[in-house]
Amino acid sequence: MDALAVVELSSIARGVIAADAMAKRAPIRILQTHPISPGKHLVVIAGGVAEVEESLAAGVAVAGGTLVDRLMLPRAHEALVPLIGGTAAAPTLLDSVAIFETFTVCSTVLAADAAAKAAQVTLVDMRLGTGLGGKAFFTMSGRLEEVEAAALAGRSAIETGLLVGIETIPAPHEDLRRRLFW
């Protein structure tokens, strides 16, 4: 099980510098580092717990006053790293589906981790800030009662006021099933 960390900065240029400092501090993998809306920069890393903690500390130090948010998951759910890193396989079957949308990248990652740990669901897609005005969302699938339990766990994991909404589709139309992830 990998540790996972997220750093969100208000400066794109400082975000690139922070990503470099994080990668140089300890042997970690950069899963994402790029500008996100509106004019911020996102860095997501994974690796061993001690290495990720050390790299996160380096990123936070370099970010200084440009730090918007950060998240450390010492035992991230096994589905998060491939999903965020772009190596997750496309699901073959979608049962009930829920789309979980938040106002921040860190709250989406935290909610997805809690949801996946709480119930038998498959995380099928995650979008972190790019083209979303700084918001983020993830999509999960499973039996309806599992999706509902996972959504409740995700909601409980994040601070009040960060949730945009959770929408559940008990049985998506076949045309929609093919278009639920981008």
**Residue whose C-alpha is closest to residue 66's, from 5, 104, 129, 16:** 16
Determine the Cα–Cα distance for residues 45 and 52; give it in Å rounded to an integer: 7
**Is the same domain home to 134 and 52?**
no
Residues 87 and 165 in one domain: yes
Give yes or no: residues 115 and 53 share one domain: no
Residues 17 and 46 placed together within one structural domain of the fold: yes
What is the pLDDT, as a whole number, of residue 1? 62
Q: What is the pLDDT of residue 179?
A: 73
State whether 63 and 94 are in the same domain.
Answer: no
pLDDT surpasses 60 at 182? no
C-alpha separations of 168 from 8, 33, 97 in Å: 28, 30, 6
Q: What is the pLDDT of residues 45-101, one digit of tens each?
A: 999 999 999 999 999 999 999 999 999 999 999 999 999 998 888 776 678 999 999
For residue range 1-48, list pLDDT tens digits in order: 689 999 999 999 999 999 999 999 999 999 999 999 899 999 999 999
In a domain, 89, yes or no: yes
Question: Are 26 and 91 in a shared domain?
Answer: no
Q: Is there a single domain that holds both residue 97 and residue 172? A: yes
The pTM score is: 0.94
Q: What is the pLDDT confidence band of residue 107, given thresholds at 50, 70 and 90?
A: very high
Whether residues 96 and 164 share a domain: the answer is: yes
Local confidence band at 159 (pLDDT 50, 70, 90 cut-offs): very high
Distance of CA 158 to the CA centre of its chain: 13
Quick one: pLDDT at residue 7? 98
Residues of the domain holding 88: 80-177
Question: DSSP characters for 127-155?
Answer: EESTTTTT-EEEEEEE-HHHHHHHHHHHH
DSSP code for 56: H
Q: What is the CATH number of the domain that holds 95?
A: 3.30.70.1710
